[in-house]
Amino acid sequence: MQSLKSNYFQLFNLPQSWDIDQDALSDEYRKQQGEVHPDRFAGAIDTEKLRALQLSSYLNEAYETLKSPLRRAAYLLSLHDIDVEQVDQSDLSMDLLLEQIQLREKLDELPKDESALVDLDKLRAEVTVKLERQEKSFAECFAAANYDGAKKVYHELQFLNKLRTEIDAGEELRLGY
Amino acid sequence: MALLQIQEPGGKQAKPLHRLAVGIDLGTTNSLVSASCGPGVKTLPDSAGQHLLPSVVHYRKGETALVGFEAKSLLVEDPLNTIASAKRLLGKSLAELKSQQGYLPFEFDGSRDDGAPAILTASGSKDAVQISADILSTLVARAEASLKGSLEGAVITVPAYFNDAQRQQTKDAAQLAGLNVLRLLNEPTAAAVAYGLDSEDQGNIIVFDLGGGTFDVSLLSLKRGVFEVLATGGDTSLGGDDVDHAIADWIASQMSESGGIEIPSKARLLQLANGAKHQLSDSKVITISSDAWSVELTESVLKEIIADLIRRTITSCRRVLRDAGLAVGDIDNIVMVGGSTRMPLVREAVAEFFGKAPLTDIDPDKVVAIGAGIQADVLIGNKSADSFLLLDVNPLSLGIETMGELVEKIIPRNTTIPVAKAQEFTTFKDGQTVMTLHVVQGERELVSDCRSLARFELREIPAMVAGAAKIRVTFQVDADGLLSVSAEELSTGKKAEIQVKPSYGLESGIIEGMLQDSHSNAQIDMETRSIKEAQLDATQLLDAIASALRIDGDLLSEDEANVLAKSIQKLESIMIDGSSVQIHGATEELNQVSSDFAAKRMDLHIANALRGESIEEVEKQVD
């Protein structure tokens, strides 16, 4: 059984950048998973089974990292020794915080029943537009090797993603899922 | 000139032998076994030509167990020794079972110290694993007689919602029956496999599985021979039985409206309802009659009667789409599984929601077993390796208890398995040398609302100040969905590991009851969580002040010490039952009161430092 490359981009034969071909990623993932998945070793000896389990788990982790825009961004930065867990006060501008507070207030003020669904959709659309803008800006910073700038954008992406998750959760609550 | 054919070294010498492997659908009501025979995979009948094996076992003194139709016929005659629906006992504790299903007629074995439900029968105490093993053995015997050879392996299906304990016990039952388990496969995945191989489809598939008592829905993507489960959901307390109950209630209400009629027993009502349900699968209007009384039931009235049940299935579908980030239009095929999907109203509702007709070609009772048989054939090596692959997800989040009885999720639900994830934790108290790791499963934020899977300890952590030790906890879920957890202290390499086995004695409730709870209770959780966090802050401050007082308590005057003690007392009492705001207030107050003390300590330590020896002097002493 082969061993796998430690860099997730190299693992899937992709260029190390923000913009990746999602279809190529998922095709390559399926191809490799087809080679290392434990099901391929159902009748093998235990050491091979264990190796298959490890390789397959690693492949899943790599795939999920690159598939998610936010996790891909953090991973790209980590390849340039930037730890996104380390948040400096200077990374977060006052404008950003104010904007976040405003958006959150909007979400909190919506009625707690189904009448809020239309406004939730609007709010989600607003956040999605901001997300897409910031993703573009992350790509530009990163391509220009401006990693500190990219890290600042990353934190904005983090805020926006969290907010979108909360909007989704708010919608589920109101729909009674 | 004819060339001599030379085989490549190590290449295939001859057509490999066909190895015998089966797929088994171990169901709550009925079980089936399937295998590849001739061109395709088929379910195997018994000598009487019956494909379904009722999942009922009858125990007799000094004789082997009876399984299937014979056992089923003894259910009324000898209820204490005849066990149906043993699948519902898997992975549960006796206490849990009794609180959920009060109607069980059995006498339970109180001597089991593991708390597992075991039934006292004429041939001894039998638990869910043994009963399931008896069903499996019957299916194995049937298959070996039919295939004329001994089995080398089996794929056994489990509901997508089965938790770790239930999966583990299913595997234990197979081992007890002498079966080599190639894989535990989620039932909806098996159903999609049954359809997926007949057509060379690409795309997203919904598996809609409405059985007698449970509802499962899964979203899978199929591309180049790889099935990827994108999301699963459902409702373990929704099924065809609920339809019968709804119709029975309607009949009873019609009878009391007619007046002057004695309403028959619940059992009789359910019998009438079940008959009506089946008749309405073929006609638009039927007549229900009991003695001299009769009433007409039309399909449109039935639609109203079961509207709520159908709405609940569609809500689950919506949720699964949401989890996978897909829209209705992204779904290419809908596979129907389970006897209840024979109801035209169910099919219509599904077709209406997804905007296309569901697939119903394969018998909805057999489709899971057929899929399992196909997968067994692949895993045993009868099909070429690149034929197809199944990527499953874990149905419930797995996490660990952190301070304040909060859950830190390590592997979120719907993560593709196998998966390994690690997270670092640290100690909470100065000098802490033992860490208890409590592994839980569920979506809620509080430990008490999730299912406890296992507890173990990491010992001999070197004593350090709180927060200095680094303990890496790794969760590994294998392709069958079974979890193992290990913990390692990074500076010493000290390790502890556990294979998570079923743990009994937990009043955990039903799995996706837990899932639904997590949403309806999100609001309550938030306040509870902020109280827990406030308590945690308070505890940390109290601990810090207590340890400061032990070292430098003599810095305080008697008055100062009294004021501080009062403030400590106040916080200690408020943190027990106060709101998060009250606890924060008292914590802040204690912080203020103790700030002078902190300043004094700081001054003292600075003074000590200034008085202390210089670095050069220290070095000289070392030399």
pLDDT in tens, A86-114: 777 677 777 878 888 888 888 888 888 77
Are B389 and A34 within 8 A, CB to CB?
yes
SS3 of residue B314 by DSSP? helix
Contact B194, B530 (CB under 8 A): no
Contact A34 B226 (CB under 8 A): yes
Q: B250: domain CATH number?
A: 3.30.420.40
Predicted pLDDT of residue A146: 93
| Residue in this structure with the two tokens 């219509």, named with its chain if needed | B348
Domain count, chain B: 4
Mean pLDDT of B574-596: 80
3-state SS, B556-592, equals: CCHHHHHHHHHHHHHHHHHHHHCCHHHHHHHHHHHHH
Q: Looking at B520, B538, B568, which one is the last position of a domain?
A: B520
Return the bridge partners of B262, or none: none
**Neighboring chain A residues of B380 at a CB cutoff of 8 Å:** 42-43
pLDDT band at B201 (very low <50, low <70, confident <90, very high): low
* Closest in B225, B381, B522 to A169, CB measured: B522
Q: Which long-range contacts (CB under 8 A, 24 or more apart) does A63-66 make?
A: A63/A12, A63/A25, A63/A26, A63/A29, A63/B416, A64/B415, A64/B416, A65/A8, A66/A8, A66/A9, A66/A12, A66/A14, A66/A20, A66/A25
In a domain, B142, yes or no: yes
A-side interface with B, Cβ within 8 Å? 26-27, 30-31, 33-34, 37-40, 42-43, 53-54, 56-58, 60-61, 63-64, 168-169, 172-173, 175-177
Q: Are residues B403 and B458 in the same domain?
A: yes
**Mutation test of the interface with chain B: which of A30, A41, A46, A113, choosing the one with the most B Cβ atoms within 10 A?**
A30
* pLDDT of B5 higher than 60: no
Distance from CA of A49 to the nearest CA of B (A): 10
Asked if B389 and A40 come within 8 Å (Cβ–Cβ), the reply is: yes
Residue B347 domain-assigned (yes or no): yes
ipTM: 0.82
C-alpha closest to that of B166 among B184, B181, B182, B189: B184
Does B581 contact chain A (CB < 8 Å)?
no
For residue B359, list its beta bridge partners: B335
Name the domain boundary from B472, B500, B520: B520
B95 and B169 inside one domain: yes
Q: What is the pLDDT of residue B102?
A: 55
Q: Does the pLDDT value for residue B214 go beyond 70?
A: yes
Closest to B247 in 3D by CA, of B190, B304, B204, B192: B304
> Is B52 within 8 Å of B34 (Cβ atoms)?
no
Residue B8 lies in a domain: no
Q: Give residue for tokens 């501008």.
A: A93
**Which one has a higher pLDDT value, B540 or B605?**
B540
Out of B182, B226, B478, the one facing A53 most closely (by C-beta) is: B478
| Residue B559 reports pLDDT greater than 70 | yes
Assess whether B242 and B273 both reside in one domain. yes
Alpha helices in B261-405 (DSSP H): 266-279, 299-305, 307-324, 344-354, 367-379
Q: What percent of chain A has pLDDT over 70?
A: 95
**B292 and B162, same structural domain?**
no
Task: Say if CB B491 and CB B424 are below 8 A apart.
Answer: no
Partner-chain contact B390 A63, CB within 8 Å: no
* In chain A, % of residues over pLDDT 90: 41
Q: Which of A24-33, B8-17, B213-222 is the least confident region? A: B8-17
How far from the centroid of its chain's Cα atoms is residue B139's Cα? 25
Residue B217 has pLDDT above 60, yes or no: yes
B233 and B170 share a domain? Answer: no
- In this prediction, residue B606 carries a pLDDT of 53
Average pLDDT over residues B260-275: 84
Average pLDDT, chain B: 81
**Per-residue pLDDT band at B482 (split at 50, 70, 90):** confident
The answer to whether residue B5 sits within a structural domain is no
Per-residue DSSP letter, B20: P
Higher pLDDT, B215 or B44: B44
B153–A43 CB contact, under 8 Å: yes
Between B387 and A175, the more confident residue is A175
- For residue B226, the surrounding DSSP H or E stretch is strand B226-235
Percent share of chain B, pLDDT over 90: 32
Give me the domain span that covers residue B555: 522-611
Alpha-carbon distance B554 to nearest alpha carbon in chain A (angstroms): 38
Choose the final residue of a domain: B462, B490, B520: B520
- Same domain assignment for residues B26 and B154: yes
pLDDT band at B161 (very low <50, low <70, confident <90, very high): confident
Convert the pLDDT of each residue in B268-324 to its tens digit: 888 899 899 989 888 889 999 888 888 999 999 999 999 999 999 998 898 889 888
A50: left (phi over 0), alpha (psi -120 to 50) or beta: alpha
Same domain for B304 and B353? yes
Of B97, B379, B428, residue with least CA distance to A49: B379
The beta-carbon neighbor of B476 closest among A57, A63, A169 is A57
Is the model's pLDDT at B430 over the cut of 50?
Answer: yes
Neighbours of B383 (CB within 10 A): 15
Q: Are residues B323 and B458 in the same domain?
A: no
SS3 call for B177: coil
Contact B513, B475 (CB under 8 A): no
Question: What backbone phi and psi angles, to 5 degrees, belong to B285?
Answer: -145, 135
Position B616 in a domain = no
Instruction: Spell out the domain ranges in chain A.
Output: 8-67, 89-175
Q: Residue B184 corresponds to which tokens in the numbers above?
A: 């535990």
Candidates B413, B226, B216; CA nearest to B313 is B216
**Neighbouring residues of B466: CB distance < 8 A, sequence distance ≥ 6:** B426, B427, B428, B429, B430, B432, B543
- B205 and B300 share a domain? yes
Is residue B611 predicted with pLDDT exceeding 60?
A: no
Q: How many residues does chain B have?
A: 623
Which residue of A59, A113, A171, A177 to mutate against B (max B Cβ within 10 Å)? A177
Q: Could you tell me which residues come within 8 angstroms of residue B223 by beta carbon, excluding any fewer than 6 positions away?
A: A26, A27, A30, B202, B203
> Do B41 and B114 have their domain in common?
yes
Q: Which residues of B touch A40 (CB under 8 A)?
A: 385, 389
Residue B508, C-beta contacts closer than 8 angstroms, at least 6 positions apart: B96, B450, B451, B452, B514
Q: Long-range contacts for B81-84 (Cβ within 8 Å, ≥24 apart)?
A: B81/B121, B81/B122, B82/B56, B82/B57, B82/B58, B83/B56, B83/B57, B83/B58, B83/B59, B83/B119, B83/B121, B83/B126, B83/B131, B84/B29, B84/B54, B84/B55, B84/B56
Residues B351 and B405 both lie in one domain: no
The rounded distance, in Å, linking the Cα atoms of B66 and B61 is: 11
CA–CA distance, A32 with A56 (Å, rounded to integer): 9
Asked if residue B454 belongs to a domain, the reply is yes
Residue among B389, B421, B520 minimizing CB distance to A37:
B389
pLDDT at B525 over 60: no
CATH number at residue B459: 2.60.34.10
pLDDT band, very low/low/confident/very high, at B505 (cuts 50, 70, 90): very low
Q: pLDDT value at position B618? A: 33
CATH architecture of the region A89-175 = Up-down Bundle (1.20)
Out of A39, A61, A64, name the one closest to residue B479 (CB): A39
3-class secondary structure, B406: strand
Say what the pLDDT of residue B225 is. 74
Confidence of residue B17 (pLDDT cuts 50, 70, 90): low
Residues B90, B126: one domain?
yes
Interface size A-B, in CB pairs within 8 Å, comes to 85
Mean pLDDT value across residues B351-364: 94
pLDDT band at B100 (very low <50, low <70, confident <90, very high): low
Q: Which of B169-173, B297-301, B437-441, B557-561 has the lowest mean pLDDT?
A: B557-561
Determine how many CB atoms are found less than 10 A away from the CB of residue B168: 24
pLDDT-above-70 percentage for chain B: 86
Residue B388 lies inside a defined structural domain of this protein: no
Q: Which class does domain A8-67 fall in?
A: mainly alpha
d(CA A39, CA A56): 10
State whether residue B520 sits within 8 Å of chain A by CB: yes
